[in-house]
Copies of this chain bind each other. A is one copy, B any other.
Amino acid sequence: MIDLDFNKMGGLIPAIVQDHASGDVLMLAYMNAEAFNATLESGQATFFSRSRQALWVKGKTSGHVQHVKSVHIDCDQDAILVRVEQVGRAACHTGYRSCFYRRVENQTLKIDDQPVFDPKEVYKT
């Protein structure tokens, strides 16, 4: 068993998701013990949604699932790094490849990427 420190954050640990091919950081989400085990067992990145308070298989709605290539744990055992193959080229619900699509410049946020899908098409909103 891997001894992770879920206590610091009330049962959750932050998980960084990185594209294994490009090295781009795609998103940050949270895992509880169940999500961590589901990620390892299924090979698909699975988180705990803080807003919905439920297990969240990334991409279940959009089809943009994340196939897990590796999982690393940090020195304090309170952070997770998941390297994935991102299906659909985009991790973010906004249509950008990465959730980190805005850069801080002169105290403002500047978009520095192009969206790869239209959220209205993918989520049928």
Contact = CB atoms under 8 A, between A and B. Distances in A.
Chain copies in the assembled complex: 2
Contacts of A101: 72, 75
Contact of A71 (B25, B70, B104): B104
Which of A16, A22, A92, A103 has its CB near the most chain B CB atoms (within 10 A)?
Answer: A16
Interface in A16-55: 16, 18, 22-25, 27-28, 40, 50
Interface string A6-18: 0011000010101
Interface of A: 1-2, 8-9, 14, 16, 18, 22-25, 27-28, 40, 50, 70-76, 79, 81, 92-94, 96, 99-104, 107-109, 112
